[in-house]
Amino acid sequence: MLSDFLIGAGASALTGLGLWAFLPRGVALTRRYGNEPETWILQNISPVPVRIISVEWQGVDTMTGDRILWQAVPVGAQHDAAVRIVPAEDDRFYALTLEHERWSGFVVRPGDSLHARVLSNRTVRIRYRREGWTGLFERREIRIDGGT
């Protein structure tokens, strides 16, 4: 009787630990309008770092035939680009441009933010997950539709 109880308690504890480790909990990038037209502020409001998987955009400029294709947003895009995303802090911007050739692998720390400029008729898709091995199976996505 006691051994059955201990086995059940141990199995429950292991299941709970596994769910805690692999299920998303509070990882979120939020978006809000910026101070300038067609700008957005993406902020990590969670207590854990967020790892960017990909940043892509589509719009009238990416049409090929009758299809609109997703294209990667370049790191350090020009100021007049249709889609431009930069970290809010200058030191993070320099780290991004020097260490990464693309957004994949860039980490947004808790409280940090990204500034996005998205013109009308364009959509940006940012895929991300929790930083570290506990976020390996987690996938989240946020979209910004320009002009709305």
Which pLDDT value is given to residue 124? 92
Q: How far apart are CA 146 and CA 148, in angstroms?
A: 6
61 lies in some domain: yes
102 lies in some domain: yes
Which pLDDT value is given to residue 126? 93
Domain that holds residue 141: 26-145
Question: How many structural domains compose the chain?
Answer: 1
Distance of CA 20 to the CA centre of its chain: 21
Which pLDDT value is given to residue 125? 94
What is the CATH classification number for the domain harbouring 44? 2.60.40
Which pLDDT value is given to residue 58? 92
Q: Which two tokens stand for residue 83?
A: 């889609």
Which pLDDT value is given to residue 21? 67
Predicted confidence pLDDT, tens digits, the chain (148 residues): 788 888 888 888 888 777 666 655 556 777 777 777 788 899 998 888 999 999 999 988 888 888 888 988 888 767 778 888 888 877 777 677 777 678 888 889 998 888 888 888 899 999 998 888 877 778 889 998 887 5
111 lies in some domain: yes
Mention every residue, 6+ apart, whose C-beta is less than 8 A from residue 102.
72, 74, 75
Provide DSSP, 37-59.
Answer: TTEEEEEE-SSS-EEEEEEEEEE
Amino acid at 46: S
Which pLDDT value is given to residue 26? 57
Which pLDDT value is given to residue 22? 65
Which pLDDT value is given to residue 53? 92
18 lies in some domain: no
Which pLDDT value is given to residue 55? 92
